[in-house]
Every structure is written in structure tokens, then in C-alpha cells.
Amino acid sequence: MINVVRAELVKLKRASLSLSTLAAVLFITGLSTSLLFLLVDSPEGNGREGIRISRETLELPTGLSLSFSNAAGLLGIVALCIFAAQTAQEYTYGTLRNLLVRQPSRMKVLVGKLIAMKLFALVVVVSAGLVTFALSYLFAGVKDISTQSWGSADARANIVRTFINVTVATIGYGIFGMILGLLFRSPISAISIGVIWNLIVEGLLSIFVEDLAKYFPGQLLSTVALGGTEEISYQYALFTSYGFLAAGMIIVAILFKRRDVSN
């Protein structure tokens, strides 16, 4: 399995993939962070879905990590695309057959690929977090927002919790992408369906149908990244979302073991 992980990491470390992914992630997290602070006085809101996050809120010990948790949905979509593409393209390019020649155990190949992509997602999350925290201090100075409480013990504890929550949510989105990649065996189909489902279907239905967000994995993973909300508790969001993902992985693992290796 270790060799499978190493082989997958070689693919993920390609400059065309790793650098472009990091560039995209840093851009969207940087944009999200800058808008949060620069629009702090805007009556139209500066947070997700037009929510207004005040100066007083940003000056709290949780203010430093607030922009990071708000960007978790964007990080999740990136992870979904990467996991889906890296899984499905093995069928498209016919390279899965070559992998199984070297490692006949399909489950070891599947688990090894998952571990490698989780490590890649971890690097992406850490990079995004560092940029977000740096920009938070920068724009706080620009908008005269006090950062005194950001150096407290409560702030440091909150940063650790937020990092864990965002990582768990991002990897969850990635697993969802991997499920789609194994199910459809086409990068274009898996990515398009995953993005449409998370950004459009779940988003619209959650707005117009009350309490429906409790049963959507994407919405629940967003709640995990935020550490829970008034409507959905953190524990419910975590266990329910990963329950859906575990069931999905079991189904596609069975398909992966039994189906032909070519698309």
C-alpha cells in the first residue's frame, strides 16, 4: 500500500497540478478574506449569503479564524474536483490496468490513492490557512480593526479547532468527489455533477425547503467547517455527513472491486 501512496503522490506533485491547485486555492481564500474585511461596513453584508459580520465580531478571539472557516466551502469544491479527477482519469487513460498489474489488490490501490489525496488536501488546507491568517492581520490594519484579542489563548485554541474542522470538511468533500469518480468513471461527469449538486441543487433546495439542509452531505460538511450552527449541531453534522460518505464509499468500493477496469 505504501508504494501505491508514493505512486499517487508522484502524480499529485506534478507542477501542472500542484502549483495550479495551490494558486487557485490561495486566490479564492485570499479573495474571501479580503472581502470579509474590506466590506465590513457595507450594509449589503460581507459574509456568506449576504450575512453582515460586524467589526465587533471580527475583534473577538474567533475573528482571526472566521475568514478561514468561511472559505471552507470553496476549499471543499477544489478538493472534490481533485479527488474526482484523479480517481476517474485512471479509467479514462486506461492506467488502472497497469496499476493492478503491479498491485493486484484493488482495495489496497483504492485505500492508497485515498491516503495520498488526503495528504495533498492537508497541504492545501495548511497553505490556505497561512495565507488567510496573514491577510486577516493585513486587512485588519487597513480597516482599523483591533487584533489585540487575536493573540490570546482562546484565539489560539479556536485556530486549532477551526483548522481541524476545515480539514475534516475539506477531506469530506474530497471523498464525495472520489465516490463520484468511481461511480461515473469520467472526470468531466464526476466533477460537473459534484459541483452542480453542491453549489446549485443543495444550495437552492436548502433555501426554499426548511430543514432540508440536515440531510445534504455538502451542507452538513459546511456546518462542520463552521463548528456547528444554531440550526444544526456540530456532532450531528459530523456523524451524519461522514455516515453518508461511508455508505457511499462502501458501495463504490464494491463496484470498484467487481467492475471491469476499463471505462
String of DSSP letters for 33-97: HHHHHHTTT-TT-SSGGG----HHHHTSTTHHHHHHHHTHHHHHHHHHHHHHHHHHHHHHTT-HH
**Cβ atoms 216, 230 nearer than 8 A:** no
Long-range contact set of residues 5-12: C-beta below 8 Å, sequence gap at least 24: 5/112, 5/115, 5/116, 5/119, 6/116, 7/99, 7/112, 8/86, 8/112, 8/113, 8/116, 8/117, 9/116, 9/119, 9/120, 11/86, 12/86, 12/116, 12/117, 12/120
Q: Among 68, 40, 87, 89, which Cα is nearest to 134's?
A: 68
Domain that holds residue 227: 2-258
**Cβ atoms 181, 86 nearer than 8 A:** yes
Residues sharing a CB contact under 8 Å with residue 115, sequence separation 6 or more, in sequence order: 1, 5
In a domain, 204, yes or no: yes
Element (H, E) at 249: helix 234-258
In a domain, 92, yes or no: yes
Q: What's the domain count of the chain? A: 1
Cβ count within 10 A of residue 140: 20
Element (H, E) at 140: helix 106-142
Instruction: Give yes or no for residue 49 having a pLDDT over 70.
Output: no
Q: What is the pLDDT of residues 107-134, one digit of tens each?
A: 999 999 999 999 999 999 999 999 999 9
Name the one residue in this structure whose C-alpha cell is 463520484: 180
Q: What is the pLDDT of residue 7?
A: 84
Q: What is the pLDDT of residues 175-233, one digit of tens each?
A: 999 999 999 999 999 999 999 998 888 888 887 887 888 999 999 999 999 899 888 99
In a domain, 232, yes or no: yes
pTM above 0.85, yes or no: yes
Q: What is the pLDDT of residue 71?
A: 82
**Cβ atoms 231, 207 nearer than 8 A:** no
As given in the structure block, the three cell numbers for residue 218 are: 455538502
In a domain, 163, yes or no: yes
Name the one residue in this structure whose C-alpha cell is 457595507: 42
SS percent in the chain: helix, strand, coil, step 5: 80, 0, 20
In a domain, 263, yes or no: no
| Maximum CA extent, the chain | 61
Q: What is the pLDDT of residues 134-176, one digit of tens each?
A: 999 999 988 889 998 998 999 999 999 999 999 999 999 999 9
